Structure 1
Amino acid sequence: MRLALAACLAACLAVMTPGAQATEGDKDPGDILGNWTFQTKPYREGQCVMTGTMRLTPDAESGVYDCELTAVEVCSMWGRSVVLQQCTARRFDNQLSIRSEIDQFLESKLEGLVYVPDNFALTIQSTKRMYGSLVSAATAPAIFIRAEEGIS
């Protein structure tokens, strides 16, 4: 009887302990909303790197986010391009898939340069950090860090 009572008490405490029953799927879908900055590792034999910003906003569909992404690609062979892109992000547990469409070129150094939309496959490590890969005309490891909101 004492053993059964102890087991019941332990089970009750586990249920009452905050976060004890939380699983990855129970995370608040809004935990990644907001502004992010990102950077890739060098690619194209070390000649290019991409940095930028992304804003994630809620969509009516569960697990889907609307986003706007501004990518700044700097390549030693053709200069700098700044591209505004509209995107959709789909979340599956701690995975985030971002698919972009080019909205407008804000800056382009090389006339006639073909620019492919920037897509990403990410793992959500925390509410402040995601990591994964740029999947576009080139691939490269990428890290996303939540932008710190300043006071103006």
Structure 2
Amino acid sequence: MRPALMSLLAASLFLFAPASYAADEKDSSDILGNWTFQTKPYRDGQCLMSGTARLSPNPESGVYDCELTAVEVCSMWGRSVVQQSCTARRFGNQVSIRSEIDQFLESKIEGLLYVPDNFALTIQSSKRMYGSLVSAAIAPAEFIRSEEGIS
């Protein structure tokens, strides 16, 4: 009887392990909160974008409200700082961020055409997402969760 009981116990551990692992994975990929991001250089290495994003809850499942501040530095036209509102949609481990420009906080060239910054990302963990800037230019991008400090 003991071997049968041990077999049953081993089988039940095997069956329940994937379910608890899946629950842990879901928690580890929570994307709410503050993020910093940076692209790789683009436009033949002349531009680089970095910034911050805050993802907050939305009543619709899989949708997040967000705010994004992008800092684009290009050797040919200087630095632009643009505040944007955005919507993030999550599909499994994929996140799509679509932005609208709220205001220009800084711009070196008068009348510079600036296109909203959109991103297509893959969630690696609760601390990192990676993918691409998909805007007037396309470039690899990485989002890292901001560490909340105590002041």
Q: Give the TM-score normalised by structure 2.
A: 0.90
* Count of aligned pairs: 150
CA distance in 2, matches of 1:127, 1:90: 16
Which residue identity lines up with residue 113 of structure 1 in the other structure?
L
Asked if 1:71 corresponds to 2:70, the answer is yes
Q: Compute the displacement of 1:111 (Å).
A: 0.6
Which residue identity lines up with residue 91 of structure 2 in the other structure?
F
- Structure 1 residue runs without a partner (length 5+): none
Q: What secondary structure does 1:60 align onto?
A: coil
Partner of 1:9: 9
Contact 2:29 2:125 in 1 (8 A): no
Partner of 1:95: 94
CA distance in 1, matches of 2:4, 2:133: 54
| 1:46-102 residue CA offsets vs partner (Å, 9 max, x unmatched) | 000000000000100000000000000000000000000000000011100000000
Q: Structure 1 residues 29 and 127, CA, compared in 2 at 3 Å: closer, same or farther? A: closer
Partner of 2:60: 61
Q: CA RMSD for the aligned pairs?
A: 2.2
Q: Compute the displacement of 1:8 (Å).
A: 3.2
| Identical counterparts, % of pairs | 77
Partner of 1:116: 115
Which residue identity lines up with residue 88 of structure 1 in the other structure?
T
Q: What secondary structure does 1:8 align onto?
A: helix
Q: Compute the displacement of 1:14 (Å).
A: 2.8
Which residue identity lines up with residue 108 of structure 1 in the other structure?
S
| 1:20-51 residue CA offsets vs partner (Å, 9 max, x unmatched) | 31438x71498111000000000000000000
After TM superposition, the structure 1 = structure 2 runs for residues 133-148 of structure 1, keeping only pairs within 5 Å, are 133-148=132-147
Contact 1:43 1:139 in 2 (8 A): yes
Partner of 2:45: 46
- Structure 2 residue runs without a partner (length 5+): none
Q: Which runs of 4 or more aligned residues in structure 1 lie more than 4 Å from their structure 2 counterparts after TM superposition?
A: 1-7
CA distance in 2, matches of 1:77, 1:3: 75
Q: Give the TM-score normalised by structure 1.
A: 0.89
